[in-house]
Amino acid sequence: MRYWLIGLVFCSVSAIASCPQWPLVIAHRGASGYLPEHSLPAYQLALAQGADFIEVDVVPSRDGVLIARHENELSHSTDVASRPEFADRYTKKQVDGIWQQGWFSEDFTLAELRSLRLKESMPKLRPQSAAHDGRYSIVTLAEVLQLLNRHQQQTGVAVGIYIETKHPAYFAYTAVDVKGNPVQQDITELLVDQLRTTPSLPAHIYIQSFEVSNLVRLRQQLLPAAGLPQIKLVQLLGDTKQQFLQPKDSFSEPFDIYGAEQGLFPLGLLTAELRVLLKKGFHYGDLTTTAGLAAVASYAEGIGPWRQNLYPQIGAETPLITQAAAAGLVVHPYTFRKESQYLLSDDKQQQMSINDELNWIFGRGIHGVFTDFPDIAVQARADVCMKKAN
């Protein structure tokens, strides 16, 4: 099996008898349930809470530096809208085919981005995090890697990094700056260059993407050329039920394939197994079939499904976990949150807590979970997976 038993040094074999796998706890944007997402303190808190991996989304600055942001549009998570010196950067752009208005990372130098202050992206939902608005600044991927290296040196605990490339086809082909000039930034290559030149990388690294061709390119070309074949890849899956299709939304289909189909740019590298699947209207559901999972296994080590697609309610069957395992793939669903609007119900329509859901899915053999609340997942794992066998 292609997963790591992180944190099991002091556990006997019988201690995980109630869990088919030892599930990884992946801190989604850091401990983002408690502090503004992708802030250095949010990452530090996730480390203190015992996360196995820190997840970092990356987008570029105008001068080609990868920064930690969930999206390239900045107004939801920074104070950019209240900064008069940046009023002229306000614009409208089509990101992955969907029109957005705001301020975008590719229109700011790193120095300008560092001057922005972070804020909670969901202030009504998380007022305790919003109390920290204005205290922290944007960090770079390089700084997160440095944080993990310092943490290992100081504690002896090796925590992995889970990096998501945001909108690679957009930045390479369709993005324009605030003046209308092509951006043409290859963030996948920028990422590999950063990893290649970092002196002390984490022992365990995943790279994930909602797009397909950049992962194939990483596997076939960029990672081997950089001497980094050990890095593992995960195919993120948006909605597999075709509820969020272009032109209204882009959450049901990979933009690199959709954009190539529309003639916006050339189709990137694909494996032979993927090319067999291609058809007009290709969507994420096609990757969850037997042939689709085999195609993913030709370039990646895992899948990252939206948990509402993986199982609509607690107690439902989860055949995709078994099917993915048969294809040699790990399954890391997203995102586990404790607020009521994110909770699922059981077959009696009773709303279940995050603890109930984690306890159940750990017992189903899930390989890892993305969560805004690493401490809750770490404790649930201890409760479920470390019980002594009878």
Q: Which CATH number covers residue 82?
A: 3.20.20.190
In a domain, 7, yes or no: no
Q: Which of 141, 142, 148 is nearest to 166 (CA)?
A: 141
pLDDT band at 160 (very low <50, low <70, confident <90, very high): very high
Largest CA distance in the chain: 67
* Section 97-117 average pLDDT: 98
* Section 87-108 average pLDDT: 98
Between CA 214 and CA 222 the distance in angstroms is: 10
Identify the pLDDT of residue 17. 55
**Amino acid making up residue 60:** P
Question: Which helix H or strand E contains 188, and what residues bound it?
Answer: helix 187-197
Q: Is the peptide bond before 335 cis (omega within 30 degrees of 0)?
A: yes
pLDDT band at 18 (very low <50, low <70, confident <90, very high): confident
In a domain, 3, yes or no: no
252 Cβ partners below 8 Å, 6+ apart?
238, 239, 240, 241, 242, 243, 244, 245, 283, 284, 285
Enter the tokens of residue 302.
């895992």
Identify the pLDDT of residue 220. 98
279 Cβ partners below 8 Å, 6+ apart?
286
Q: 376: number of CA atoms within 13 Å, CB side?
A: 21
Find the domain containing 227 and state its range.
13-385
Between CA 196 and CA 229 the distance in angstroms is: 11
The helix/strand/coil state of 304 is strand
* Section 77-85 average pLDDT: 98
Q: What is the mean pLDDT of the chain?
A: 94
Between CA 57 and CA 327 the distance in angstroms is: 27
In a domain, 157, yes or no: yes
According to DSSP, the residues that pair with 237 across neighbouring strands are 305
Between CA 178 and CA 104 the distance in angstroms is: 9
pLDDT digit string, tens, across residues 246-304:
999 999 999 999 999 999 999 999 999 999 999 999 999 999 999 999 999 999 999 99
Enter the tokens of residue 64.
């080609």
Q: Burial-class residue 331 by CB neighbours within 10 Å (0-12, 13-18, 19+).
A: buried
Identify the pLDDT of residue 111. 98
How many other CB atoms are there within 10 angstroms of residue 127's CB atom?
A: 10
Q: 243: number of CA atoms within 13 Å, CB side?
A: 7
Identify the pLDDT of residue 387. 67
In a domain, 257, yes or no: yes
Identify the pLDDT of residue 268. 93
Between CA 129 and CA 112 the distance in angstroms is: 24
* Section 32-45 average pLDDT: 98
pTM for this model (two decimals): 0.94
Identify the pLDDT of residue 10. 34
Enter the tokens of residue 276.
């067999």
In a domain, 4, yes or no: no
Total domains in the fold of the chain: 1
In a domain, 8, yes or no: no
pLDDT band at 241 (very low <50, low <70, confident <90, very high): very high
In a domain, 194, yes or no: yes
What are the CA-CA distances from residue 388 to residues 4, 23, 142, 277, 321 (Å)? 21, 17, 41, 45, 25
Q: Which of 89, 91, 103 is nearest to 59 (CA)?
A: 103
Enter the tokens of residue 272.
């032979």
How many other CB atoms are there within 10 angstroms of residue 94's CB atom?
A: 12
Identify the pLDDT of residue 255. 98
φ and ψ at 232, to 5 degrees?
A: -100, 150
φ and ψ at 31, to 5 degrees?
A: -85, 70
In a domain, 5, yes or no: no
